Amino acid sequence: MDPANSNQRKKIVIVGGVAGGMSAAARARRLCEGSEIVVLERGGFVSFANCGLPYYLGGEITRRESLLVQTPQSLKDRFNLDVRTHQEVLAIDAESRFVTVKDRINDRLYRESYDDLLLAVGAAPVVPDLPGIKLPGIFTLRSLEDADQIKLWIENEGVRNAVIAGAGFIGLEMAEQLARQKIQVTVVEGLDQVLAPVDPEMAALVHEELRRHGIKLVLSSFIKKFSAAAEVECNGAVPRSCWLWAGDHPAIAADLVILGLGIRPELTLARQCGLAESVPRTPS
């Protein structure tokens, strides 16, 4: 957006909210005071503290409302933004300059025109194409809606054993928070240490601390599949969710599985309207 044209009235549509989209919308308003700015967010919440989701699930953050940073109304009042939640952009016509939107509340389609379009759709959790990956009780944690589903599952299913697939920051935060609730937690990681970015010596200290709190570590074991709860029997115990198979380790019982295997960029809309993907260059 060109500051030299800050007084030019135009219609700016931003696809996606939360940190990226709302920061862009606020900046656009400062640069273009007279422009119409529309934010289309697929989810139900446009500005929330996603870094606090594990702590909400663990009970350290007791009020769900504490996670909400801004609402469509507060953004309208402060920045004069037209923020619409539950609006999923399905297609972009770059030549005619409009997007096709699905109103997920009223189940209707409509078109929204634009002068400038910004894609701030972020990323999606990695969900590997493994046998049994769609069994009940297997979740990702990316949005407030995800946290609501996990919380409801824990409350309704009497979770005793949880498996965290992936030992990155979100995975270990969830392991800590579930252990606080007296749930037996097993962390499964394909590498030989948790927290891949840190040195092995530092990771060893984290291993020790996790085990001190009763968290089991299954390292150097990539997940192979999930089996339905009733398909395997071990000493008469049947988990509420599924069995997880990783590496050469025996089947692990899980009443709850949280996938913390990283994220991938959401590129569908960008590819659809012909945007070129940037490829990192290796320094010569």
The catalytic site residues sit at 51
Residue-wise DSSP of 151-190: HHHHHHHT--EEEEE--SHHHHHHHHHHHHTT-EEEEE-S
Q: Tokens 């599952």 sit at which residue?
A: 153
d(Cα 147, Cα 6) in Å, to the nearest integer? 40
Give the number of C-alpha atoms closer than 13 A to the C-alpha of residue 4, restricted to the C-beta side. 0
Interacting residues of 40 by C-beta distance below 8 A, sequence separation 6+: 13, 14, 15, 16, 84, 87, 88, 89, 99, 101, 112
Task: Enter the tokens of residue 169.
Answer: 């920051």
Count the neighbouring beta carbons within 10 Å of the beta carbon of residue 154: 17
